[in-house]
Every structure is written in structure tokens, then in C-alpha cells.
């Protein structure tokens, strides 16, 4: 049976990768992801995991090596954070357009400058459009479960997309928490051996990564966009099957006390656990507030979000990233786009905070609900507001 252990979110990811029995790990250590690959390197050295661990010289090489390994049909994993994810950037598009089921855990980190190794979602938003399936975990248990699910989703013949599992740098990656780690036999046939349909094979030659001139590029892009949207159903299906088998069900978004809520907070990442406490406290004061914890980021759960907030008067979007010079933060822009055109469109308010590892406490969320009320009552015109910033 599953063992309950106390360990970091990073170890929960490494344990899942071990259970997935990956063939290749190619990674370069970077804070706050280092413990993931350090632990995997140890597992390979100790014989707990029979994989080829490639010690590469950069993240660009790490993801390139993963691309090659996945192209021959190997089950492949990598992990990075912040600047490392940026160094991978150009190759990320190739992995998704070639439909290679690489799984990557990202310990989300601020981007420089100023140089900062702590958590926020700058790196996530910078890779929004690379064509990977992307979702968030909020704690070590979710990191363990959803890293396992990532392999199953990525390799599904109806999906065949790389998957990025996002966990907040330090707040998930380094916090020691109790979680249940699976025993291999307990998984049964949940994760069958990878069967990439067109692996590089001298006996069945194919060309991968060929160029796409103007005559065909647009058709390739359209096909990719349709395919990732179609993957949505399979992602939900895999998470539901996981729930039936193992008792923990995950959804594209989780709602908390939204049924009668007049004000709904929409946010992503581990801070949502504090936001939920704030929802309880604000409700004690008699205000009807709720929380939408967005888990799936790409493909975006458009319909589910609309359903969750359609009866709200205001939607507050809290996020840990900026779009410099933009109309709102990247998450808010997405939420507004999703809600635009609804018959009764809620007012959308945007708060940005928790940047570069700045803590958010429950009282910050309570203050956000108060400030939202003030903005609406006084009719203040506002695109977005930074919170917890001195001055």
C-alpha cells in the first residue's frame, strides 16, 4: 500500500518519475528546481531507477536531448525553473510541434532582473504560447499524483503533447509535507509502457522536424491548435480515472464556496490554500465570496471557468506575474477574454502580488476582498493594482 512520507514537493515529483520508470532524464540544476534532479540523479546512482541520466551543459541542451530521446520513443523527463526555462524557450516549441510526449516539472521562479531565485509566475507566463499542456499543483501530494498523470496524458495516442507540471518555487518545491507515495504494484496498468507511434527507426524511416514553407505552415499550426484543444477531454478523463482508482480526483479548476458567491477570486498556484482560508474569514463577516483554483492553464478551461463565475457580480483575478505595459496581468487578460461576451458579464478586477518570493498571507487576501468592494462601491476605474508593495 501507499506509504505516507514527509518530504519536499521536489521529492514527490522525483518519486513519481521513478515510479514512471523513465528511460531518460536530461536536466541542468537550477534553483529552486535543483532538488528534483539531485534526487533523480541519486536514484539512478543507487540503482533505484534504471534510466540514462544525461549530465548536460545547459537547459538548452537538456531539452534538446529530451527531444531526441523522445523521438526514438523513450519515456523522457526534465525539470527546470525561471532562467533555465527561458534558455529552453526556442526548443519548447519544437517539442510540442513534433508532438513528443516529454514531461517537465517546473519549480516556478521569478525572472531576472533584478536577479531573483524565488517563486512567482513570470517564467510560466513567458512560456504560455509554446504549445505544451500546462497545469499547476498546489502541494506535494498533487505534485506526486499529477506528475504521474502527466506521463499518461502526454503519451496517450489521442494526445501526444509534452506536459509541463508547474509547482511554486520554494512554497511547494522546498516545503516538507506529508504525502502518500505509491508502491509500483499499486499503480497496476495505470501507466502502460510508452508506445510512440512514429519513433525514429532505421527500418521505418521518417523525417522529423522538416521545414514547413508558407504553403503548409498554417495547416500545421491549425492542426496543432485543434489537437491541443481536443486533448482537454482526455486530460479530464485521465484525472477522473486516477480518482476512481486511487481516491484523489483532480479537475481543470476547483471551486470553493462559489455557488452563491457574489465575489469570486480566481487564482493559480499554492497560494490558493491561503486564499481559501481568507474566503472563510470574509464569509464570517457576512460577505458571499468564493474561490476558483485554476489548475489547467493550457488548454484553457474556458467553459468550466464561465460556468464557475457566471453568477458572480465581481471576479477578482490575483496573479504573480506582470505584463509590462499591458492592459492587465496575463492571467487576468485570459480571464477577461474568456468572460467577454457572456450575457451578464461580471466586473473583473486584477491584483498583482507575490512577486519574486514575496509572501502573501491570509490578511493580504482579506484586504484584497475589501479593496475590491471599495473599487466597485466608489466606481474607481482601474486596469490592475499591485498589492503588498511599499510606497
Partner 1 sequence: MAKKDFELTWQEIPVGNIVLEPGNAAEYRTGDWRSQRPVVDRSKCVKCGICFSFCPEPCIVKDEEGYYEAELYYCKGCGICAYECPKGAITMVQEEH
- Footprint of partner 1 (CB under 8 A): 97-100, 160, 197-198, 205-208, 210, 212-213, 215-216, 218-220, 222-223, 226-227
Closest CB 71 distance from partner 1, rounded Å: 9
Nearer to partner 1, 218 or 380 (CB): 218
Closer residue to partner 1, CB minimum distance, 160 or 268: 160
Tell me how far, at minimum, the Cβ of 376 lies from partner 1, in Å.
44
C-beta closer to partner 1: residue 225 or 359: 225
What's the closest the beta carbon of residue 96 comes to partner 1, in angstroms? 9
Minimum gap (Å) between residue 233 Cβ and partner 1: 17
CB of 205 to partner 1, least distance (A): 4
Backbone angles phi, psi at 55, to 5 degrees: -85, 100
C-alpha cell at 25: 532524464
Residue 229: other Cβ atoms inside 10 A: 13
3 state SS for 33-50: CHHHHHHHHHHHHCCCCC
Residue 145 CB partners (closer than 8 Å, separation 6+) = 16, 242, 246, 248, 250
DSSP result, 82-141: HHHHHHHHHHHHHHHHTT---EEEEEE-PPSSS---S--SHHHHHTTTS--EEEEE-SHH
Measured CA angle at 312 (ends 310, 313), to 5 deg: 125
Q: Output the nine-digit C-alpha cell for 90.
A: 526556442
**What secondary structure letter does DSSP report for 194?**
P
| Closest residue by Cα to residue 60 from 14, 26, 106, 109 | 26
Residue 201 C-beta: closest distance to partner 1, Å: 12
Minimum separation from the CB atom of position 132 to partner 1 (A): 14
Q: What distance in Å separates the CA atoms of residue 367 and residue 373, rounded to the nearest whole number? A: 10
Residue with Cβ nearer partner 1 (158 or 285): 158
Amino acid at each position: 500500500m501507499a506509504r505516507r512520507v514527509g518530504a519536499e514537493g521536489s521529492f514527490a515529483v522525483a518519486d513519481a518519475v521513478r515510479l514512471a520508470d523513465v528511460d531518460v532524464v536530461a536536466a541542468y540544476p537550477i534553483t529552486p528546481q535543483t532538488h528534483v534532479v539531485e534526487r533523480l540523479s541519486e536514484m539512478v546512482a543507487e540503482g533505484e531507477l534504471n534510466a540514462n541520466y544525461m549530465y548536460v551543459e545547459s537547459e538548452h541542451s537538456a531539452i534538446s536531448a529530451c527531444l531526441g530521446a523522445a523521438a526514438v520513443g523513450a519515456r523522457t523527463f526534465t525539470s527546470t525553473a525561471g532562467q533555465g526555462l527561458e534558455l529552453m524557450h526556442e526548443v519548447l516549441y519544437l517539442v510540442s510541434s513534433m508532438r513528443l510526449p516529454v514531461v517537465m516539472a517546473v519549480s516556478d521562479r521569478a525572472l531576472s532582473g533584478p536577479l531573483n531565485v524565488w517563486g512567482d509566475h513570470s517564467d510560466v507566463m513567458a512560456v504560455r504560447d509554446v504549445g505544451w499542456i500546462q497545469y499547476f499543483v498546489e502541494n506535494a501530494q498533487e505534485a506526486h499524483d499529477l506528475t504521474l498523470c502527466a506521463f499518461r496524458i502526454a503519451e496517450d495516442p489521442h494526445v501526444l503533447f509534452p506536459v509541463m507540471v508547474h509547482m511554486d518555487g520554494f512554497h511547494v518545491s522546498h516545503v516538507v509535507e506529508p504525502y502518500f507515495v505509491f508502491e509500483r504494484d499499486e499503480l497496476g496498468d495505470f501507466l502502460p509502457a510508452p508506445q510512440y507511434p512514429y519513433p525514429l527507426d532505421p527500418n521505418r524511416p521518417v523525417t522529423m522536424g522538416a521545414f514547413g514553407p508558407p504553403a503548409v505552415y498554417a495547416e500545421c499550426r491549425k492542426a496543432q491548435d485543434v489537437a491541443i484543444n481536443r486533448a482537454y477531454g482526455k486530460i479530464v478523463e485521465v484525472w477522473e480515472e486516477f480518482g476512481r482508482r486511487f481516491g484523489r480526483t483532480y479537475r481543470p479548476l476547483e471551486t470553493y464556496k462559489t455557488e452563491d458567491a457574489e465575489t469570486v477570486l480566481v487564482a493559480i498556484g499554492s497560494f490558493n490554500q491561503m486564499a481559501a482560508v481568507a474566503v472563510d474569514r470574509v464569509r464570517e463577516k457576512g460577505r458571499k465570496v468564493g474561490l476558483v483554483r485554476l489548475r489547467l492553464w493550457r488548454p484553457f478551461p474556458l467553459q468550466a471557468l464561465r460556468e464557475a463565475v457566471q453568477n458572480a457580480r465581481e471576479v477578482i483575478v490575483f496573479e504573480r506575474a506582470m505584463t509590462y505595459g499591458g492592459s492587465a496581468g496575463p492571467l487576468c487578460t485570459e480571464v477577461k477574454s474568456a468572460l467577454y461576451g457572456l450575457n451578464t458579464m461580471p466586473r473583473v478586477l486584477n491584483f498583482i502580488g507575490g512577486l519574486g518570493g514575496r509572501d502573501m498571507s491570509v490578511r493580504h487576501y482579506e484586504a484584497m476582498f475589501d479593496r475590491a468592494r471599495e473599487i466597485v462601491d466608489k466606481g474607481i476605474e482601474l486596469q490592475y493594482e499591485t498589492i503588498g508593495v511599499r510606497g
